[in-house]
Amino acid sequence: MAAIQKTSESTYIFLKIADNTLDDIDRQFGLENQLDLDSSPPPRYGLGALERLPLEIIHLALMQLDIQSFTDFRRVNKRTRLITNSIPQYRNILIHTPELIRGIINIETARNFSCQDLYKKLSTAECDHCGEFGGYLYLVTCHRVCLLCFTEETDYLPLSRKDVMRKFGLESELLANLPRMRSFPGRYSPREIKCRRHETLFDHSAA
Ligand SMILES: [Zn+2]
């Protein structure tokens, strides 16, 4: 998320800092542009057996899916995109943070949490670690964090494969069960540091 500052008890502003976060990388993946399908011609294909279920039940089930499964379902056909578009929480995510799901998919953490988990974190303001205002999301496991905790607490500093094996003495096969992310190539930080490779990083607290 872009840098945010709390200016009063109920007011937050976006800081005009070119911090080059994940939000600013790879704007090609246009999930956010697909909300306006509602006025286009009706879909030719339906939901199959799922059509028998009430819409509310489908919404509840979809919100419990991990974000990758949710996105895969969304891509099946136009009807599934319309169904996902009609979920109020998902609409709000796309309207208010259109770059967020794209970023989650790019760093390959979309299997680690559900749309419901993500919406819940976006609907709160406090850092999960210290309770102060949290303007950032730690997207390996979907935690809301403040800048201080995000940059200094070891729980939010994911480790390379080599480091996690050395620090915790874990065998290579045990790493398969740990939440992880893959870095996405691009230029990051106000200094535009170039990240060229896909590097796999593991969640510290789960290790
Ligand atoms: Zn904090």
- State residue 1's pLDDT score: 52
Structural domain that includes position 125 = 4-27+49-202
Q: Report which of 28, 44, 122, 120 is spatially closest to residue 82, judged by C-alpha positions.
A: 44
Residue 43 is classified by DSSP as: P
Kindly state whether residue 176 falls inside one of the protein's structural domains: yes
Model confidence at 147: pLDDT above 80? yes
pLDDT digit string, tens, across residues 79-128: 999 999 999 999 999 988 888 998 999 999 999 999 999 999 999 999 99
181, with CB counted inside 10 A (0-12, 13-18, 19+), is buried
Measured in degrees and rounded to the nearest 5, phi and psi for residue 18 equal -80, 75
Two structure tokens written together for 16: 């005009």
Model confidence at 148: pLDDT above 60? yes
What's the gap in Å between 146 CA and the centre of ligand 1? 4
Q: Is the dihedral of CA 60, 122, 10, 86 positive or negative?
A: negative
What's the gap in Å between 201 CA and the centre of ligand 1? 21
Give the Cα separation of 64 and 75 in Å (integer).
Answer: 17
Kindly state whether residue 38 falls inside one of the protein's structural domains: no
Kindly state whether residue 107 falls inside one of the protein's structural domains: yes
Mean pLDDT of the chain: 87
Kindly state whether residue 8 falls inside one of the protein's structural domains: yes
- State residue 98's pLDDT score: 84
Q: Locate all alpha helices (DSSP H) within 11-138, ordered by sequence.
A: 55-64, 67-74, 78-85, 88-96, 100-106, 115-122
What's the gap in Å between 153 CA and the centre of ligand 1? 8
Host H or E run for residue 164 = helix 161-168
Two structure tokens written together for 177: 């069960």
What's the gap in Å between 127 CA and the centre of ligand 1? 5
Number of structural domains, the chain?
1
Kindly state whether residue 83 falls inside one of the protein's structural domains: yes
Kindly state whether residue 172 falls inside one of the protein's structural domains: yes
Three-state helix/strand/coil letters over 98-162: CCHHHHHHHCCCCCCCEHHHHHHHHCCCECCCCCCECCEEECCCCEEECHHHHHHCHHHCCEEHH
Average pLDDT over residues 47-73: 95
Kindly state whether residue 34 falls inside one of the protein's structural domains: no
Three-state SS for 9?
Answer: coil
Q: Are the C-beta atoms of residues 25 and 186 closer than 8 Å to each other?
A: yes
- State residue 24's pLDDT score: 67
Question: Quick one: what percent of the chain has pLDDT higher than 90?
Answer: 58
What's the gap in Å between 69 CA and the centre of ligand 1? 30
What's the gap in Å between 128 CA and the centre of ligand 1? 7
Query: Pairing mode, if any, of strands 159-160 and 143-145?
Result: unpaired
Kindly state whether residue 85 falls inside one of the protein's structural domains: yes
Residue 184 is classified by DSSP as: -
Three-state SS for 11?
Answer: strand
- State residue 54's pLDDT score: 95
